[in-house]
Every structure is written in C-alpha cells, then in structure tokens.
Amino acid sequence: MQGSRNATKAIEFKSGTFSATTAIIRDTNAMHLADAMHALLGGRPDFFAGEPAILDFSQLQKLPERVDWPGLTSLLRRYRLQPVVVRHLPESLADSARKAGLAVLHGDESLKTVAPPPAPQTKAAPVEPPAAAPAPSIPSTPKGSMLLDRPLRSGQQVYARGADLVIIGGVSNGAEVIADGSIHCYGPLRGRAIAGAVGDNSARIFTTALGAELVSIAGVFRTFEKGLPEAVAGKPAQIRLVNEANTQQIRLDPLVLS
C-alpha cells in the first residue's frame, strides 16, 4: 500500500487558533436579545461578516430553566455571526447546547482570541478571561505603528496587531480597520474603525473627515444609522472613551486643525 500517500489524506487534523467574536449574553430570552441587537446594530443584516462567535454566559443575570438554542443561533446568524462555542454556561444547560451543535467549554479553558471585532454590548468588556476581576484597562503598550498608504476599499480589512494604525487615503464604506492601539486616518473614514481592540481604553481614533458606520474603542462602540452629529460629520474629528455617569462612552469631538 505504498505510493498512495496523498489519496489517504482526505482529512488531516492540526491544532490552531482562529479569531472569533465574543458575544457576552446576559439575557437568554430570544425576544429581548432580538430587540437589543436591533437597537445596537440597526437591523443591518450584514453587520458581521460571517465570523465565528463564542457565546459567553459568564455574566448571565439569572439562570434560565432552558434556552431556546435554535432561536438564539438563528438570531445571531441573521447578523451573519456564526455561533460555534459556548463558555461559562451553567451545567444544567450544557446538554441542550451540545444537542444544538455547539461546543461547550468550561471554566478557564483558554481560547485565544485575536482581532476581536466589537462584541454586542455597551459596556467595556473586551475579550479577556472573565475569571479575572473586571480590570479597568488592560495595560497594552502598542509598539510602533502600521502604515497603510493606500485607501482601504469595501470588503477589505486591516488589523494592526499590537500597534497603532496610520492610513493615508481613507477608508471606504464596507471596509474595516482594527488596531490594538489608536487609528489615524488621513482621508475620509467611512467604514468601521475599531481601536483598542484588545482593551486599551486610552486608544483613540483620528480622522480628517469623519463618515464612519461604526466606531469602537476597547469594545465600547457606537453606530450611526441616523447620521453623525453635525459638528463632526465629514469633518476632522477625534474619538475617544470618556467616563460619564460611571459608564464608559464614546465621545466624538471636532478636531481643530489650524
């Protein structure tokens, strides 16, 4: 049986990591979730790009008797998010999750998540082992910067891992820029901009002409279906996180370039 080495390789297993979005689910009622997602994402069906998702139940508000898994997964899929794994799920619900085709992770089984797009939530809770006490900020010191000297077009995505991102030429609608540090965009910023992607809440976003569909800093994000505030729309702007009434909020300010 020699010489057919490749023929026997119909499948091969390798270990590896992949990037995923973490959805922290605090309420399992599908109706409540549908409302919350609509409010956050404006009913945009293509908000996520078919990314795999980890459903995290570490912050469940109350233990439900059962969970409507088909309802939950199809709701997430409607926004093109593909749930694959659940974690920190109360034991009583684990069996039903497995039956629904989801992998069940317990405790601190570490899942390396890289390049996390914003999780649907309003509080700063970036992807991090939830076992740790809610740290106010992950001390991440971005090293250096990544330079992109062409416009980023619809459907393209760039991730500056552990760095700031500098873009010359602008970001189109439907494109996505992600940085662990800050984002500096010379040219119109029209797509999605995600700064402080692993939790640096001092990261900022700068642009010479703001037209973003979404901005996010350290997991706190804001969308603009109803348009941007007039003071910053199409103008130089700075975006950062501020503490207001004990919650972290995205703040948009005009940037005066004299």
Of 138 and 158, CB closest to another protein: 158
Of 29 and 156, CB closest to another protein: 156
Name which of 167, 35, 53, 45 is nearest 103 in CA terms.
Answer: 53
Q: How far is the CB of 188 from another protein (least distance, A)?
A: 8
Q: How far is the CB of 215 from another protein (least distance, A)?
A: 19
Q: How far is the CB of 47 from another protein (least distance, A)?
A: 16
Query: Which residues make up the interface to another protein (CB under 8 A)?
Result: 150-156, 169-170, 172-175, 187-188
Of 24 and 175, CB closest to another protein: 175
Between strands 214-217 and 220-223, the pairing is: antiparallel
b/e for 65-98, b at 16 or more Cβ within 10 A? eebbbeebbebbeebebebebbbbbeeebeeebe
Of 117 and 211, CB closest to another protein: 211
The single residue listed with the structure tokens 């898994």 is 69
Q: How far is the CB of 246 from another protein (least distance, A)?
A: 40
Q: How far is the CB of 222 from another protein (least distance, A)?
A: 22
Which residues, 6 or more positions from 47, have their beta carbon under 8 angstroms from its beta carbon? 41, 79, 80, 81
Q: How far is the CB of 159 from another protein (least distance, A)?
A: 15
Q: How far is the CB of 197 from another protein (least distance, A)?
A: 21
3-state secondary structure of 210: strand
Of 70 and 234, CB closest to another protein: 234
Which of left, alpha, beta for 141 (phi over 0: left; psi -120 to 50: alpha)?
A: beta
Name which of 142, 57, 59 is nearest 92 in CA terms.
Answer: 57
Of 64 and 151, CB closest to another protein: 151
Quote the longest CA-to-CA distance of the chain.
76
Spatial distance between the Cα atoms of 120 and 40, rounded to a whole number of angstroms: 7
Name which of 209, 217, 232 is nearest 117 in CA terms.
Answer: 217
Distances (CA, A) of 11 to 3, 6, 7, 208: 17, 10, 10, 50
Of 59 and 208, CB closest to another protein: 208
